[in-house]
Amino acid sequence: MLPHDSNAHKDEPRPDAMNVEQIQAHPRAAKTLYKTGRQLRTFAALVAMALILGFLIVHHLKASDQADLAAATKESSSAPRAVDVVSAETAPASMPLTLPGETAAWYESVIYARVDGYVANWTANIGDHVQKGQVLATIDTPDLDAQLVAAKAKLKAADALVEFTKSTYERWKNSPTGVVSQQEREAKRADYDSAVAQAGLDQADVDRYTTLTAFKQVTAPYDGIITERRIDIGNLVTAGSTSNTTPLYRIVQDDPIRVFVDVPQSAASDVKVDLPAHITASNVPNRIFDGKVARTADAINAQTRTLHVEVDIPNPDHALVSGMYVDVGFELPTEGLVQIPAAALVFRSGGPQVAVVDKDGKVSFHKVTIVRDGGNAVEISSGISAGDKISLNISSQIADGEMVEMHISTDGAPNAPTQK
């Protein structure tokens, strides 16, 4: 075995840095260079083949997907479109309708003074329950008292004059014809009649002032509740009810109590006198007040398109007070109507329509008449019948007479398709 010389190749150049002369001078390095180049060419060829193969695979897959998509599109376009359908139902015997209302007192009065004077005292305050005829306040009327005294004195003088003219007339009337002329008798009769008339006028003044003195005591006109007091002791009050006159009291009677409600025009024909009503109030929880429609305006308000309705309710415990906002519930009759979901309506230039699907899957659009809109459901009086299959949210691209595939919907939620 030859000894190994560690410096045998020390002076040989690197293969990648050799020129032609160096290759000839160093054959072993040239061999190494050739081997390396062949490996690089082989690697490059393999990479190129892998890229070509990957391109062909991707192209094939893409072409296959496009073919599948085209086939699916063609199949989808030729197949009937799927629509969700529900059955039109007979409307319930009655439909609830709840509207906002406002309570109002059965009677409500503002009490003014009927005489001028000063408040001597008052005996009723706000919140007091008072009875008819009960004294609420007393008014001192010095001017009225003086006028009454003067009127009585004048009447007394008039009565004396009547007695005097009467006696004179009686004396002249019974005198012999030759002593007293007929003209003188008539003059005395006229004096007597004038005195009687004046006494009558004076009596009327006394009666008027006496009647006014009765208004010195302010009384309740009916059983009710005092809701406002505007007077105090010593206040000057003036008779009358002008805008410049201060009222004394406000009184209401709220048993029974009225409820006013405005019914939309769409339901106005169903709200009639004696129709039951149920009233609830947020501040009186867990309680329902029953009443009936007592009267209606019998005319539609041209501005609000509503019917003004009044409901009377017994209110013995005064749980409801005037001025409250309440909810008024009615049960409206719906005989002969068909109920469908609001989502089944199609609004076009010709008015509201419904897409009806027959047993063969053919669509036909029917014009309908909406009687009552309940929000999620509407009631129809013409155009369809109970049991008809109607489409929900039908596409605007589906034309009249087109064939579709029905999918039964429960409460508007699509379900499995029907079997034809």
Q: Is the pLDDT of residue 320 over 80?
A: yes
CB 329 within 8 A of CB 97: yes
Among the listed ranges 119-128, 244-253, 360-369, which one has the minimum average pLDDT value? 360-369
Rounded to the nearest 10 degrees, the angle between the axes of helix 182-214 and helix 142-173 is 160
Instruction: Answer left, alpha or beta for residue 212, where phi above 0 means left and psi between -120 and 50 means alpha.
Output: alpha
Classify domain 81-91+337-417 at the CATH class level: mainly beta
Radius of gyration of the chain (CA): 54
Give ∠ CA 45-46-47 in degrees, rounded to 5.
90
> What pLDDT shows up at residue 6?
47
What does the pLDDT look like over 359-375, one tens digit per residue?
Answer: 888 888 899 988 877 77
> What pLDDT shows up at residue 201?
94
Q: Is the pLDDT of residue 287 over 90?
A: yes
In the chain, what are the domain boundaries?
Answer: 20-75, 81-91+337-417, 109-250, 255-333
The pLDDT of 382-390, averaged and rounded, is: 88
Cα 275 to Cα 35, 268, 291, 294, 308: the distances in Å are: 109, 12, 9, 8, 14
109-250 CATH, one of 3.30.1490.20, 3.90.180.10, 3.20.20.70, 2.40.50.100: 2.40.50.100
Torsion of CA 375, 377, 383, 388, to 10 degrees: 160
Q: Is the pLDDT of residue 207 over 80?
A: yes
Q: Is the pLDDT of residue 184 over 80?
A: no
The pLDDT of 84-106, averaged and rounded, is: 89
> What pLDDT shows up at residue 176?
66
Which is higher by pLDDT, 9 or 308?
308
Cα distance between residue 406 and residue 396, in whole Å:
17
Percent of the chain with pLDDT over 90: 43
Confidence band, pLDDT 50/70/90 cuts, at residue 43: confident
> What pLDDT shows up at residue 328?
96
The pLDDT of 197-207, averaged and rounded, is: 93
Classify domain 255-333 at the CATH class level: mainly beta
DSSP designation for 177 = T
